[in-house]
């Protein structure tokens, strides 16, 4: 039997020994809502009600022109019949990669519920009026911070970043209008597939996928635009 603690004095756990049994639920075709939007909102509601920290956190995977992948966690800020929306610096690595290669995948890891949702599709920029509306809803500090950070660039240290933020906070004090930076915006991921994964015992998980019937934009709220498929675990 593998010991969870190596005998060498290294107190880090042994990865193979970290194992749980998935027994919290099942997912049958009859359990699904008619449309992927309804299904996602239902599971998202479950995640919120369960008390999960930041259930809107999603792992975003992108790729550069050579196909080299990169991942990071971003926050879902809207989901509607078009797809999944997040906001970011348009000069960041992820934005440069999406501008070159719009293919993207978003993973919602709701591990405490033994669930995950995987979205695969193509990203496009969010209309500027929507970006403006969302930016003005952000806390004052976050709006100032958007100006302070040249995201994904190499910097000399933390001190310079803090100094830049302090200068901007003085320029735009609490209550002042903080304008939307030209280099800040949003991305909309239009899904081609959305997989709903429910952990099951013996690693025989339930995987049900909504797949877009035809090329082009599909309405997430319209069940007729989607085919439901069961994937082998």
3-state secondary structure of 75: strand
CA distance 148 to 36: 38
Concatenated DSSP letters of 92-132 = SHHHHHHHH--EEEEEEEEGGGTEEEEEEEEEEEPPHHHHH
CA distance 120 to 60: 10
Q: How far apart are the first and last CA of the chain?
A: 26
Helix (H) or strand (E) holding 158: helix 158-171
Is 203 part of the annotated catalytic residue set?
A: yes
Q: Of 19, 68, 158, 203, which one is the catalytic site residue?
A: 203
Q: Which residues of 85-113 are buried (b: 16+ CB within 10 A; e: fewer)?
A: bbbbbbbbbbbebbeebbbbbbbbbbeeb
Residue 212: DSSP 8-state: E
Residue 115 class from Cβ within 10 Å (0-12 exposed, 13-18 middle, 19+ buried)? Answer: buried
Concatenated DSSP letters of 16-65 = GG------S----GGGS-SSHHHHHHHHHHHHHHTT-S-TTEEEEEEE-T
Q: Which residues are catalytic?
A: 203
């Amino acid at each position: 039997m593998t010991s969870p603690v190596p005998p060498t004095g290294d107190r880090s756990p042994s990865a193979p020994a970290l194992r749980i049994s998935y027994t919290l639920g099942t997912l049958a075709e009859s359990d699904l809502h008619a449309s992927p939007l309804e299904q996602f909102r239902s599971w998202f509601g479950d995640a919120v009600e369960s008390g999960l920290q930041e259930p809107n956190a999603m792992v975003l995977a992108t790729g550069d022109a050579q196909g080299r992948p990169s991942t990071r966690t971003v926050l879902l800020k809207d989901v509607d019949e078009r797809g999944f929306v997040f906001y970011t610096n348009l000069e960041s690595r992820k934005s440069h990669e999406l501008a070159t290669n719009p293919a993207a995948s978003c993973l919602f890891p709701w591990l405490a519920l033994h669930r995950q949702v995987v979205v695969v599709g193509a990203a496009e920029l969010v209309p500027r009026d929507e970006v403006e509306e969302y930016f003005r809803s952000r806390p004052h500090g976050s709006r100032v911070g958007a100006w302070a950070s040249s995201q994904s660039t190499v910097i000399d240290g933390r001190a310079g970043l803090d100094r830049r933020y302090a200068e901007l906070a003085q320029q735009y004090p609490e209550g002042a209008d903080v304008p939307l930076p030209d280099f800040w915006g949003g991305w909309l991921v239009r899904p081609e597939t959305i997989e709903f994964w429910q952990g099951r015992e013996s690693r025989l998980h339930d995987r049900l996928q909504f797949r877009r019937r035809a090329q082009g934009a599909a309405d997430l709220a319209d069940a007729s635009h989607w085919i439901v498929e069961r994937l082998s675990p």
